[in-house]
Amino acid sequence: MAMKDREIEKLIKAEEVRQKKSINLIASENYVSKDVLTALGSVLTNKYAEGYPGRRYYKGNAIVDEVENLCVERAFKLFKLDPKDWHVNTQALSGSPANLSVYLGLLEKGDKVMGMSLDHGGHLTHGHKVSITGKFWTQVPYGVSKVTEMLDYEEIRAIAKREQPKMIIAGYTAYPRVVDWKKMREIADEVNAYLMVDMSHVAGLVAGLAYPAPFPYADIVTTTTHKTLRGPRGALIFTRKDSRELDKKIDKAVFPGLQGGPHMNQTAAIAVALKEALSADFKKYAKQTIKNAQVLAKELMALGWRVVSNGTDSHLILVDVASQGLDGKDASDKLENAGIIVNKNGIPFDTRPPVNPSGIRLGTAGETTRGKEEKDMVLLAKKIDKALRA
Ligand SMILES: *Cc1c(COP(=O)(O)O)cnc(C)c1O
């Protein structure tokens, strides 16, 4: 890559070096393939394609129609969905606009949405007050049990019955455990609410058959494509096809409701990532990612660190550093000094403020892409322990 713009070229190269040199435990990051980067950096970025395949507003879209159709086809194949029963929209520019499209398409302003509160592991777009989803709609928060630090379905049922939300959101941003999608469906049915699953964090694990799929139970499944799924930044919105026509409502919310032209280079790159995720290697990757997280959690616990919910079923670990007299900001600074990149994170029932919470969040998706295995996790736990106690 030789660019005429030396300033930006220099920064790209510097970032490449930073990425190569550091151990990356940011749970929402990953490393894409050369093919994904090639698709992202292609001439497809030049094309305006407002509308959907076969129904575009501008001319010259025959080829990008094929790109989007291929992306759709691969999304169905990867998640084993029958296009008779499911629809997928590939155009939302990222996870947050994808979620907003669901709200805009299916809810009236002010409707109640039941989502996990941020401090228990929910995403901002699940109705937090600083997000548009909490300003235009009303969040009914739920959380985890104080004792197990896991979902308490009886409590969730009681809140749903009391509050009668229009939509329940399951799928989280800092919850390490398996979710019982079937129980969430039963609760949604009891109060006649939509069940939306936001599988952004675990999509790659679902694709690799290493984590339960929400599709048999959800009305809508949203996901980012850049976390465990290892694609470019982007999102997919899957909608169950039936007489309620949720698919049409959500398509309209994405375009023209919220966006103009889709980013066709991004759609192509998503298609590439979906094909990669169909490989046998990717299934191994998904299983290894979870194994690595489980070993890392176990080793950290053996070294005296309190891990929220005592372990993980996914790529993600929450460590309560306050239990050892540290705070999340200090801990993440100390790790960065040792070349390990993490984020500070709240823990359930955190008594410290979000700007400096009690925990750190670790994820193994990126390092597993780089070939790390169980034995590396044992060493990594020691390195983390040493850095934190320095
Ligand atoms: C990452 C994430 C999002 C938002 O994705 P962006 O692409 O950053 O907007 C939404 N929901 C969940 C659960 C996430 O983890």
- pLDDT, one tens digit per residue, over 36-89 is 999 999 999 999 999 999 999 999 999 999 999 999 999 999 999 999 999 999
User: What pLDDT score was predicted for residue 1?
Assistant: 62
Atom of ligand 1 nearest to the CA of 235: 7
Residue-wise pLDDT tens digits, 185-238: 999 999 999 999 999 999 999 999 999 999 999 999 999 999 999 999 999 999
User: What pLDDT score was predicted for residue 308?
Assistant: 98
**Looking at residues 275-293, what average pLDDT do you find?**
98
Q: For ligand 1, pick from 96, 236, 237 the residue to mutate: most ligand atoms within 8 Å of CB.
A: 96
Residue keyed to tokens 């295995």: 373
Helix (H) or strand (E) holding 291: helix 280-302
Q: What percent of the chain has pLDDT over 90?
A: 98
- The rounded Å distance from CA 223 to ligand 1 centre is 8
Whether residue 240 is predicted with pLDDT greater than 90 in this model: the reply is yes
Type of residue at 307: V
Atom of ligand 1 nearest to the CA of 201: 15
DSSP helix/strand/coil, 388: helix
Whether residue 252 is predicted with pLDDT greater than 70 in this model: the reply is yes
Residue-wise pLDDT tens digits, 79-138: 999 999 999 999 999 999 999 999 999 999 999 999 999 999 999 999 999 999 999 999
**Looking at residues 21-25, what average pLDDT do you find?**
97
Residues 6+ apart with CB under 8 A from 239: 86, 87, 88, 89, 219, 220, 246, 247, 250
How many residues does the structure list for the chain?
390
Q: For ligand 1, pick from 102, 116, 123 the residue to mutate: most ligand atoms within 8 Å of CB.
A: 123
Strands 235-240 and 220-224: antiparallel
Start-end ranges of CATH 3.90.1150.10 in the chain? 10-32+280-389
- For the Cβ of 173 lying below 6 angstroms from any atom of ligand 1, the answer is yes
Under 8 Å between Cβ of 348 and 119: yes
User: What pLDDT score was predicted for residue 270?
Assistant: 98
Whether residue 354 is predicted with pLDDT greater than 90 in this model: the reply is no
Give pTM, 2 decimals.
0.97
**Looking at residues 263-288, what average pLDDT do you find?**
98
User: What pLDDT score was predicted for residue 14?
Assistant: 98
Whether residue 327 is predicted with pLDDT greater than 70 in this model: the reply is yes
* CATH architecture type of domain 10-32+280-389: Alpha-Beta Complex (3.90)
- For the Cβ of 96 lying below 6 angstroms from any atom of ligand 1, the answer is yes
Residues 6+ apart with CB under 8 A from 321: 305, 327, 328, 330, 331, 358, 359, 360, 388
CATH number, domain 41-277: 3.40.640.10
Q: For ligand 1, pick from 173, 227, 259, 314 the residue to mutate: most ligand atoms within 8 Å of CB.
A: 173
Which tokens sit at 96?
């947050």
β-sheet with 138-142: strand ranges across: 86-89, 235-240, 220-224, 194-198, 167-170, 112-116, 138-142
- The rounded Å distance from CA 122 to ligand 1 centre is 10
Whether residue 11 is predicted with pLDDT greater than 80 in this model: the reply is yes
Mean pLDDT across the chain, nearest whole number? 97
Atom of ligand 1 nearest to the CA of 94: 7
Nearest to 319 by CA among 255, 349, 362, 351: 362
Whether residue 259 is predicted with pLDDT greater than 70 in this model: the reply is yes
DSSP result, 232-264 = SS-EEEEEE-STT-HHHHHHHIIIIII-SS--H
- For the Cβ of 123 lying below 6 angstroms from any atom of ligand 1, the answer is yes
User: What pLDDT score was predicted for residue 65?
Assistant: 98
Start-end ranges of CATH 3.40.640.10 in the chain? 41-277
Active site residues: 48, 50, 198, 224, 227, 233
When pLDDT is cut at 50, 70 and 90, the band that residue 378 belongs to is very high
